[in-house]
Amino acid sequence: MSTILAKLPTGMRAELKEPLGAVYTDADALLADAGEPLVAVGDIVTYHLLEAGRRPDVAVVDGKTKRERVEREVLGAIEAFDDRIDVANPQSTITDDLLEALASALEAPGSTVVVVDGEEDLASLPAVVGAPDDASVVYGQPDEGMVLVPVEEESRVRCRELIEGMQSDYDRIAAILS
């Protein structure tokens, strides 16, 4: 049974609408600027990166975009990965299962897709906190494009502050990601 370690309060939703990095509409341009390893959060982002010829090292997907089921060809993209981890993560939360899957996927030698039963929208925050220096986290910005977040001290601090601003057990989150 997964434990919720962070829950997004309604008052923070607007704060999370601001992109954490540059917004791209072209996957090739994004990939030219991306570091390694590459972490993708979201079905559509993962699909576009695969279509551009780059399999993310880690992808976190939930089979939905804007709360609607994704098309079959997008769903099929999860078959492109070496390993698969299934987790439960309710809407507007970060669970220990999601964090453990992220940590495991970041350490795995091949590519891993984390398939979320629930919602993966907040996964980009712990992905930035847990990914190594010079990695990149890419997530979708609805109706705008893909956001590229270079993993460095500044972006880690920002994501940590956002998680700490939620109803969260940040110490436990940090322990799982370290």
Annotated binding site for GTP: 43-45, 62, 64, 120, 143
- Tell whether omega for the bond before 56 is within 30 degrees of 0, i.e. cis: no
User: Tokens for 70?
Assistant: 């994704």
Residue stretches of the annotated binding site: 43-45, 62, 64, 120, 143
Q: How far apart are CA 163 and CA 145, in angstroms?
A: 23
Q: 9: which DSSP letter?
A: -
Q: How far is residue 177 from each of residues 24, 75, 96, 127, measured CA to CA in Å?
A: 28, 27, 10, 9
